[in-house]
Chains A and B, each alone.
Chain A
Amino acid sequence: MWLKLEARAEASQRMRYLSPLIAVGLTLVGGLFLFAALGKHPLEGFKVFFFNPVHDLYGLSELCLKATPLMLIAIGLAVGFRASVWNIGAEGQYIIGAIFASGVALHYEQSASHWILPGMVIAGAVGGALWAAIPALLRTRFRANEILVTLMLVYVAQFVASWLVHGPWKDPQGFNFPQSKMFADSALLPILLPGTRLNAGFLMALASLAVGYVFLQRSFYGYQMQVAGQAEEAARYAGYSYKRTVWVALLTGGAMSGIAGMSEVAGPIGQLTDSVSSNYGFAAIIVAFVGRLNPIGILLSSLLMALLYLGGEQAQQYLNLPSSISKVFEGMLLFFLLAADLFIGYRVRIVANPPLGKLLWKAH
């Protein structure tokens, strides 16, 4: 008995949507093994990690709160990834968005105007878009690889935030902690459910998924971008501008990441700190892929990713494991997805007699 890969005549649409589910299933199984390997009771670990965080209303509200920045960033990234523009630096655009939004909040701290929050959203979007405009310009003018440029700018953005909260924006009454003043109430997103931290940012995220759905699935322009990503030659032949695709891809991703940054400083954090992001920019890349670059998929996968975040916190509290265990889960999820995607284009055949001595890679 031997397994042989055989190319499918046509990519399997069913596998395209089954593959994320398979990946999630394998990640859960992998989780059981991981807990066992760490000397924890697998089922107990499983319960603490995946069930405890969401067993009550407060837990569910925290889940939606964590999913908010992930949704916002991932839907923006999906626009770019569909066009094969690899914006890997959402983390940096998020930070700059948070800084711009904080700038508005701190500048108008005496004001109680209702226009402050909309102003912060716009400032966040502009900040994120500006940060993403750098790789867009360098890509379209000098062909500089956008993966490396967006990534390098993550580090630079972190230094900018660090400089601000250690220097000009440091709270004078902050006991020397690297953080800005707390924002005034007028610069904080309204709470949706009393007694929880869930705020209006969640509604923004849902709305942007809806807008994303129309743009990606229903608009001619979204279609053009997809063509540009999948068949560059065809796109050029049809007269779709590649440069415009790169600009739209990066600016959208940047603006959405910036809004996500705003939703965090004006939401659960309430001020600018030098650890304003919890790796959301990178986690959202996984969210976008697992969600198949599709708004509904992103809704589901961002909730799953949020659960991994909360599970990590629970594991730290009740299992005495570092909370970075969620990053191990994130990585596993992406690996399993990439592996399962093989079966979109190929299927496995069982061959009776394998050629002797052939290893798997030769048996293709």
Chain B
Amino acid sequence: MESSLITSIVAATIVSGTPLVLVAMGELVTEKSGVLNLGAEGMMSVGAIAAFAAASAGASPPLAVLAGMLAGCALSLVFGLLTLTMLANQVASGLALAIFGVGLSAFVGKPYESAPLPMVPPIRIPLLADIPFIGPALFNHQSLVYFSWLLVAAVIWFLYRSRWGLVLRAVGESPSAAHAVGYRVIALRYAAVAFGGAMAGVGGAYMSVYYTPLWSEGMVAGRGWIALALVVFATWRPLRVVVGAYLFGGVMISQLFVQGSGLKLEVPAQLLSSLPYLATIVVLVIISRNATTIRLNSPVSLGQPYRPDA
């Protein structure tokens, strides 16, 4: 393969992996606080339509992303209210959130179908983009791609270098101990849930305003669920989440590889399209085989409701 082709495949991989990076980073922080929010797909969908509606009404792309972020955040607070205040089952509430979010976005989005937005131009980073081979692959992207990198750095710094990150992890490992030391477990969990919702909203906004600037029902196409699997796959470690997200990004554009390889493969398009979902299953199996890895790395209180007795 010629180098320009490889460059464009790397660039396309990053572009298609970015929504997963955004959503999975948010979900990682939520899960680190001990809350399992399965509603990522719903929050992404709602973020996508909110951002698209804002952009259609004339908002600039960053403003549209803000709208998506707020929508995702708002939906996540419904989940927070149910699970943290009303102590509902987290699995059932997350499913409800996913079903509701996807349905709501389909309902709200009906008038916006088949009305594409203009493409958001990429930002070329001076000097860095001139590096041969690497430059065009890494430093000629839309703004949200760079934002996703900053997000990863910020999450790593927060979780492992900041005081409140430590507190958040403590809450996820042992809420009763954190409570006993005087931390407000429920308030912290609300914050973590809201952050997860906000990032899922940004991921959705990326889908509808940046990645393919149009709205169609079901356009999130399971990326929220794949992001959930990624967090497990990465055994709750941020950098591994990124690696996983780009791996999946690559799988999602497998059509490009097939075309680029020049092989005349007689493969149905549907088989290529189902690869990311099959890959998710394979990855889950590989990582889940070893129960100890999961047990040692998952936040101990993940999915369990907590109610301070005081």
Binding site for B on A (CB under 8 A): 86, 88, 134, 138, 142-145, 147-149, 151-153, 155-156, 159-160, 162-163, 166-167, 282, 285-286, 289, 322, 324-328, 330-332, 334-335, 338-339, 341-342, 345-346, 360-362, 364
Given A159-B274, A328-B103, A334-B96: A322 touches B110 (CB 8 Å cut-off): yes
Query: Is A163 touching B268 in the complex (CB atoms < 8 A)?
Result: yes
Q: 10 additional contacts, CB 8 Å, given A147-B91, A148-B284, A341-B88?
A: A142-B288, A147-B38, A148-B229, A153-B281, A156-B277, A322-B107, A322-B110, A331-B96, A338-B89, A362-B187
**Complex CA distance for A138 and B307, rounded to whole angstroms:** 34
CB contacts (< 8 Å) of A328 on chain B: these are: 100, 103-104, 107
Query: Is A152 touching B278 in the complex (CB atoms < 8 A)?
Result: yes
Closest 10 interchain pairs by CB? Answer: A327-B103, A331-B100, A322-B110, A159-B270, A324-B106, A163-B270, A334-B96, A338-B88, A159-B274, A152-B277
**Complex CA distance for A147 and B99, rounded to whole angstroms:** 14
Given A145-B232, A145-B288: A156 touches B100 (CB 8 Å cut-off): no
CB contacts (< 8 Å) of A339 on chain B: these are: 81-82, 86, 88
Query: Is A335 touching B271 in the complex (CB atoms < 8 A)?
Result: no
B6-14, B136-144, B208-216, B220-228 - interface stretch:
B220-228
**Complex CA distance for A2 and B102, rounded to whole angstroms:** 36
Q: Does B285 contact A (CB under 8 A)?
A: yes
Q: Whole-angstrom distance from the CB of B285 to the nearest CB of chain A?
A: 5
Q: Does B241 contact A (CB under 8 A)?
A: no
Given A338-B82, A361-B85, A362-B186: A331 touches B99 (CB 8 Å cut-off): yes
CB contacts (< 8 Å) of B115 on chain A: these are: none
CB contacts (< 8 Å) of A134 on chain B: these are: 281
Q: Does B57 contact A (CB under 8 A)?
A: no
Interface of A is mostly: helix
Of the candidates B226, B278, B281, the one having the most CB atoms from chain A within 10 angstroms of its own CB is B281
Binding site for A on B (CB under 8 A): 38, 78, 81-82, 84-89, 91-93, 95-96, 99-104, 106-107, 110, 184, 186-187, 190, 217, 221-222, 225-226, 228-229, 232, 268, 270-271, 273-274, 277-278, 280-281, 284-285, 288-289, 291, 294, 307-308
Count of A-B contacts judged by CB separation below 8 Å: 139
CB contacts (< 8 Å) of A364 on chain B: these are: 85, 186, 307-308
**Complex CA distance for A334 and B92, rounded to whole angstroms:** 9
Q: Which of A160, A327, A332, A360 meets B85, CB within 8 Å?
A: A360
Query: Is A331 touching B104 in the complex (CB atoms < 8 A)?
Result: yes
Interface of B is mostly: helix
Query: Is A322 touching B106 in the complex (CB atoms < 8 A)?
Result: yes
Query: Is B88 touching A148 in the complex (CB atoms < 8 A)?
Result: no
Query: Is A152 touching B281 in the complex (CB atoms < 8 A)?
Result: yes
Query: Is B104 touching A335 in the complex (CB atoms < 8 A)?
Result: no
**Complex CA distance for A168 and B132, rounded to whole angstroms:** 47
Q: Which of A149, A152, A286, A346 meets B99, CB within 8 Å?
A: A286
CB contacts (< 8 Å) of B229 on chain A: these are: 148, 152
Q: Whole-angstrom distance from the CB of B276 to the nearest CB of chain A?
A: 8
Query: Is A143 touching B228 in the complex (CB atoms < 8 A)?
Result: no
Of the candidates B84, B86, B104, B308, the one having the most CB atoms from chain A within 10 angstroms of its own CB is B86
Q: Which of B95, B228, B274 meets A156, CB within 8 Å?
A: B274
Q: Whole-angstrom distance from the CB of B240 to the nearest CB of chain A?
A: 17
**Complex CA distance for A96 and B29, rounded to whole angstroms:** 37
Query: Is B88 touching A330 in the complex (CB atoms < 8 A)?
Result: no
Q: Which of B100, B291, B308 meets A334, CB within 8 Å?
A: B100
Query: Is A138 touching B281 in the complex (CB atoms < 8 A)?
Result: yes
Query: Is A155 touching B221 in the complex (CB atoms < 8 A)?
Result: yes
CB contacts (< 8 Å) of A152 on chain B: these are: 222, 225-226, 229, 277-278, 280-281
Query: Is A155 touching B277 in the complex (CB atoms < 8 A)?
Result: yes
Query: Is B102 touching A327 in the complex (CB atoms < 8 A)?
Result: yes
Given A153-B277, A331-B103: A361 touches B187 (CB 8 Å cut-off): yes
Return the chain A residue nearest B280 by Cβ: A152
**Complex CA distance for A88 and B96, rounded to whole angstroms:** 11
Q: Whole-angstrom distance from the CB of A276 to the nearest CB of chain B?
A: 15
**Complex CA distance for A97 and B169, rounded to whole angstroms:** 44
Query: Is B228 touching A335 in the complex (CB atoms < 8 A)?
Result: no
Query: Is A142 touching B225 in the complex (CB atoms < 8 A)?
Result: no
